[in-house]
């Protein structure tokens, strides 16, 4: 019986969620499995992976073959590195305490790198939000300035339209006044 460490697809259409399982290679993808090692959610950024590293290492030592994606996940979480360190202990290169110390140092470095990525994404999101707000403020200021300019133009056009009418009325009034004066003079 060939044993594989692979992913089982769960979640709805367009929103995948995977279980990391140990299963017989002849079993269906989402069918029977021997043991569930963890979960993998690729939707989040960075991807959320929960894995029982010790159980995964035990299965790797027993001969379970991971699929390509499962191998990448096991490498990311340090299961393959821990198996490598256990091989060094078995050969006598160093003791169990040194292997555990090296693994913990690697895990801390990996966690700090992931945390740095999370903080970088949060900073980038905040910067993008601030830039969008600044752009919106500029657009709003431009709209207010355009509205004020249009209002000023309308007022100037209205004054220009009223001014010739007043001049015509004034000219007409002035034209009538001399005529009235001439009419008054003959009577006098």
Contacts of 1 (CB under 8 A, 6+ apart): 24, 26
Report angle CA 146, 151, 155 to the nearest 5 degrees.
Answer: 150
Is 169 a residue whose pLDDT tops 90? Answer: no
Regarding whether 126 and 84 lie in a shared domain, the answer is no
Residue 71 domain boundaries: 3-93
**pLDDT in the model for residue 22:** 96
pLDDT cut 90: percent of the chain above it: 73
Domain end call among 64, 93, 122: 93
Sheet holding 48-51, edge to edge: 48-51, 35-41, 17-24, 3-10, 65-66
Total structural domains in the chain? 2
Question: Contact, 55 vs 5, CB < 8 A?
Answer: no
HSE, CB side, 13 Å, CA atoms: give it for residue 133.
Answer: 6
CA 136 to chain CA mean position, Å: 19
Regarding whether 9 and 79 lie in a shared domain, the answer is yes
Domain end call among 93, 125, 140: 93
Mean pLDDT of 152-159: 87
Question: Contact, 78 vs 107, CB < 8 A?
Answer: yes
User: Which CATH number does the domain housing residue 31 bear?
Assistant: 3.30.1320.10
CA 60 to CA 37: how far, in whole Å?
Answer: 12
Regarding whether 134 and 71 lie in a shared domain, the answer is no
Regarding whether 60 and 7 lie in a shared domain, the answer is yes
Any domain includes 105: no
Regarding whether 126 and 46 lie in a shared domain, the answer is no
Q: For residue 39, what are the β-bridge partners?
A: 19, 50
* pLDDT tens, position by position, 82-105: 999 999 999 988 899 999 999 999
pTM recorded for the entire structure = 0.69
Regarding whether 37 and 88 lie in a shared domain, the answer is yes
């Amino acid at each position: 019986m060939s044993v594989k460490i692979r992913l089982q697809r769960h979640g709805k259409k367009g929103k995948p969620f995977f279980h990391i399982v140990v299963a017989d290679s002849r079993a269906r993808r989402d069918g029977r499995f021997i043991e569930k090692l963890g979960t993998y959610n690729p939707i989040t950024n960075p991807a959320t992976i929960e894995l029982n590293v010790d159980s995964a290492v035990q299965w790797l030592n027993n001969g379970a073959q991971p699929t390509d994606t499962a191998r990448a996940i096991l490498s990311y979480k340090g299961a393959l590195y821990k198996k490598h360190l256990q091989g060094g202990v078995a050969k006598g290169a160093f003791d169990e305490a040194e292997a555990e110390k090296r693994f913990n140092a690697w895990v801390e470095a990996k966690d700090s790198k992931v945390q740095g990525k999370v903080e970088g994404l949060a900073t980038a999101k905040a910067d993008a939000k601030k830039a969008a707000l600044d752009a919106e403020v500029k657009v709003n200021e431009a709209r207010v300035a355009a509205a004020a300019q249009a209002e000023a133009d309308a007022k100037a056009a209205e004054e220009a339209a009223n001014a010739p009418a007043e001049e015509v009325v004034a000219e007409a009034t002035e034209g009538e006044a001399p005529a009235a004066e001439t009419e008054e003079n003959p009577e006098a």
